[in-house]
């Protein structure tokens, strides 16, 4: 008898007389149950082990990120410039799709009916994602759906495994095309952006700023992603809610821009493009800058032509319009003309005057008789003639030289005449180098630091630059030498000098505020959703190095320009204006000669509150740009709260 048998024997007594049939049945039942379990285990672990492993993996936690709404953008008076809207998109999650190819294709065909996307395109994208091991990532197959399409998709998706309707943050730019170059727009990430932004915690379908304020202040506007975590079964059905975190909206931007002023200036520039002289033809490009000379606040920044920045959210339906804008190689409407350079013409004479006063080539009382032309005797006694833009026929000092925009006075100030009058330096090249140095002190040849991307630094030529540049194919030997004529050209803002309207406005602000170079800015304040101030943009100022006495002399010359000189059409009734005209010759693509029109000024003269700079690519400064600037100044003084 074994120990196991002994262990299972019942003790003696009356129980020995009980029947044993029920115990046998129980033993058989237990054995049968273990047999079934064993067979089931073999089936699950050996025969169909891989399938059940796959299904167990499909029953997992799904975390869906919730994108935040972007921060608002307001003008200086609290007027909203953008609206947040939902963008409806159709998405597919490959790992939840049916296994059957036929079942999948039926879904693709249904999607074609609902949102108009090709079944073959959807199939190719799903296959590509699965082949790359990205079946767990949603694929956006159609976006910018109409509300009707979104409702239809939401209803149908109940019977379409793996298909969902997604709503992502979008923008409606309500302030109009006048703001497109300032605000920019948002859009989907490119492949290159996604690689970088993914490391910064961005979701693949999260829109990003593409230009303007939307791009420059992306970190402030973006907000923080939330999430909703839930356990789902293999068919995508909700089992239980695991956790949730609400998204945090982005910060609000309060701009220095005045919405009504911006719209007024844009309309005024557009209405002033026509040629009223019958000589030069209509302008094709225009720009204006209105800014505070003391703080750098930009009240208005207009670029003509412009575009509707809502076009990018509806690019599928407006493809032809977008193509026309993208291929316009004459006016480049996407380019912000306020940040793009052109020859500044006589507005640059403010720099030449400051350089002459500070370097001693002139004093406030230095005067010359200015006639119709300057004659300079060059090498081999060859006489070169440099005609002024008009016959002045009068004695001029630096004040009247600025007021009447005399080329001859500025030529003598910068380069001398190689005989009786000495220029800024001991020789031609030294004079040019000194003038270039003063141009850079006034902010030329460098970006202004405005809080927008895409700013061009312009160009300040000097002898070293010309030696490096005027060489190689297309240039003759010796053409890279610096000549007196190069200094003369730079002294009046022509030749190789290039400046943006914003740089001209910044230079003008330095004269208006007593000699400080201010950094312009679009945004005044960044505010959290609860109203807490994140930061306030404070003025950034640096001295240009011109004495107060000489700054005042230049200011008096600009006042004279508007009171009795070349800028007389810049005068207004609301305040005294000091200004400077500019007309810069250039050659068009067809080889014909034309000229740019400029006016830059500030008001009131006694206590400057505003600088206005106006630019047209074609026209005369005193006739075309000055009266437009006057209207802007008048509107500002009467309507804009400071």
| 223-252: average pLDDT | 81
The answer to whether 283 and 619 are in contact (CB under 8 A) is yes
Of all residues in the chain, the percent with pLDDT exceeding 90 is 76
Phi, psi of 45 (to 5 degrees): -95, -25
Q: Residue 290: enclosing H or E segment and its boundaries?
A: strand 286-291
The answer to whether 161 and 94 are in contact (CB under 8 A) is no
Q: What is the pLDDT of residue 18?
A: 44
The region of weakest confidence among 6-20, 68-82, 147-161, 282-296 is: 6-20
The answer to whether 225 and 66 are in contact (CB under 8 A) is yes
| 77-85: average pLDDT | 97
The answer to whether 586 and 595 are in contact (CB under 8 A) is yes
**pLDDT digits 0-9 by tens, 353-408:** 999 999 999 999 999 999 999 999 987 889 999 999 999 999 999 999 999 999 99
**pLDDT digits 0-9 by tens, 441-450:** 999 999 999 9
Q: What is the pLDDT of residue 618?
A: 96
Q: Maximum distance among all alpha carbons in the chain?
A: 150
Rounded to an integer, what distance in angstroms lies between the CA atom of residue 449 and that of residue 43? 71
* Helix (H/G/I), strand (E/B), else coil: 200: coil
The answer to whether 223 and 83 are in contact (CB under 8 A) is no
pLDDT surpasses 50 at 4: no
Q: What is the pLDDT of residue 232?
A: 66
Tokens for 129?
């994602």
**pLDDT digits 0-9 by tens, 7-26:** 333 334 444 444 455 566 55
3-state secondary structure string across 364-424: CCCCEEECCEEEEECHHHCEEEEECCCCCCEEECHHHHHHCCCHHHHHHHHHECCCCCECC
Rounded to an integer, what distance in angstroms lies between the CA atom of residue 565 and that of residue 402? 9
Q: What is the pLDDT of residue 385?
A: 95
**pLDDT digits 0-9 by tens, 86-115:** 999 999 999 989 999 999 999 999 999 999
The answer to whether 286 and 272 are in contact (CB under 8 A) is yes
Cis status, amide bond into 29, omega within 30 of 0: no
Q: Which of 3-12, 50-59, 131-140, 237-246 has the highest mean pLDDT?
A: 131-140
Tokens for 522?
């679009």
| 337-366: average pLDDT | 98
pTM of the full structure: 0.86
In the chain, % helix, strand, coil (3-state, to 5) comes to: 40, 20, 35
The answer to whether 547 and 590 are in contact (CB under 8 A) is no
The answer to whether 421 and 393 are in contact (CB under 8 A) is no
Confidence band of 143 (pLDDT split at 50, 70, 90): confident
The residues facing 370 across adjacent strands are: 394
3-state secondary structure string across 313-363: HHCCCCHHHHHHHHCCCCCCCCCCHHHCCECCHHHHHHHHHHHHHHHCCCC
| 315-342: average pLDDT | 94
Q: What is the pLDDT of residue 608?
A: 98
How does the average pLDDT of the chain come out, rounded? 90
* Helix (H/G/I), strand (E/B), else coil: 625: helix
Rounded to an integer, what distance in angstroms lies between the CA atom of residue 223 and that of residue 186? 14
Q: What is the pLDDT of residue 15?
A: 41
What are the chain's domains? 87-171 (3.90.1310.10), 259-323+334-639 (3.40.710.10)
3-state secondary structure string across 496-550: CCEECHHHHHHHHHHHHCCCEEECCECEEEEECCCCCEEEECCCCEEECCCCHHH
């Amino acid at each position: 008898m074994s120990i196991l048998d002994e262990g299972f024997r019942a003790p003696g007594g009356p129980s020995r007389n009980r029947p044993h049939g029920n115990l046998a049945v129980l033993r058989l039942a237990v054995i049968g149950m273990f047999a079934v379990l064993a067979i089931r285990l073999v089936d699950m672990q050996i025969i169909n082990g891989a399938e059940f492993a796959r299904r167990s993996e499909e029953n997992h936690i799904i975390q869906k990120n919730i994108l935040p709404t972007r921060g608002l953008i307001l003008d200086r008076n609290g007027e909203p410039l953008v609206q947040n809207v939902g963008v409806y998109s159709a998405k597919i999650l490959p790992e939840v799709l049916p296994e059957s190819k036929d079942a999948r294709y039926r879904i693709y065909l249904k999607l074609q009916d609902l949102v108009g996307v090709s079944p073959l395109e959807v199939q190719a994208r799903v296959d590509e994602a699965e082949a790359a091991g990205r079946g767990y990532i949603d694929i956006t197959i159609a976006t910018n759906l109409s509300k009707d399409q979104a409702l239809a998709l939401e209803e149908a998706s109940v019977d379409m495994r793996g298909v969902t309707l997604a709503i992502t943050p979008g923008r409606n730019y309500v302030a109009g095309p006048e703001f497109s170059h300032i605000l920019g727009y948002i859009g989907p990430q490119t492949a290159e952006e996604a690689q970088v932004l993914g490391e910064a915690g961005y979701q693949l379908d999260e829109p990003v700023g593409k230009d303007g304020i939307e791009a420059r202040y992306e970190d402030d506007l973006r907000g923080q992603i939330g999430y909703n975590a839930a356990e789902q079964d293999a068919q995508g059905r909700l089992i239980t809610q695991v956790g949730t975190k609400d998204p945090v909206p982005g910060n609000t931007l309060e701009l220095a821009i005045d919405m009504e002023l911006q719209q007024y200036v844009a309309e005024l520039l557009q209405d002033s493009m026509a040629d009223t002289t019958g000589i030069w033809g209509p302008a094709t490009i225009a720009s204006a800058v209105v800014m505070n000379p003391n703080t750098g606040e930009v009240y208005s920044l207009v670029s003509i032509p412009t575009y509707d920045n809502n076009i990018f959210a509806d690019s599928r339906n407006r493809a032809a319009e977008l193509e026309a804008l993208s291929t316009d190689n004459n006016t480049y409407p996407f380019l912000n003309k306020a940040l793009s350079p052109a020859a500044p013409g006589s507005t640059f004479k403010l720099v030449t005057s400051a350089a002459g006063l500070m370097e001693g080539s002139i004093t406030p009382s230095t005067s010359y008789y200015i006639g119709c032309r300057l004659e300079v005797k060059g090498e081999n006694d060859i006489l070169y003639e440099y005609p002024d833009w008009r016959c002045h026929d009068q004695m001029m000092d630096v004040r009247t030289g600025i007021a009447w925009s005399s080329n001859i006075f500025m030529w003598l100030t910068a380069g001398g005449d190689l005989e009786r009058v000495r220029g800024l330096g001991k020789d031609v090249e030294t004079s040019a180098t000194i003038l270039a140095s003063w141009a850079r002190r006034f902010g030329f040849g460098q970006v202004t630091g405005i809080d927008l991307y895409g700013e061009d630094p312009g160009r300040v030529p000097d002898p070293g630059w010309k030696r490096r540049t005027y060489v190689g194919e297309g240039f003759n030997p010796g053409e890279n030498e610096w000549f007196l004529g190069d200094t003369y050209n730079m002294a009046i803002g022509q030749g190789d000098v290039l400046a943006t309207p914003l740089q001209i406005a910044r230079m003008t602000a330095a004269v208006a505020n007593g000699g400080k170079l201010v950094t312009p800015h679009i945004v005044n304040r960044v505010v959290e959703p609860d109203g807490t101030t994140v930061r306030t943009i404070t003025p950034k100022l640096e001295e240009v190095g011109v004495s107060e006495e000489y700054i005042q002399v230049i200011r008096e010359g600009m006042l004279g320009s508007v009171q009795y000189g070349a800028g007389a059409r810049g005068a207004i009734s609301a305040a005294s204006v000091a200004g400077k005209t500019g007309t810069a010759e250039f050659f068009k693509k067809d080889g014909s000669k034309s000229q740019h029109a400029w006016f830059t000024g500030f008001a009131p003269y006694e206590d400057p509150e505003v600088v206005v700079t106006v630019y047209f690519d074609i026209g005369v400064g005193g006739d075309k740009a000055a009266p437009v600037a006057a209207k802007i100044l008048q509107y500002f003084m009467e309507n804009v709260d400071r």
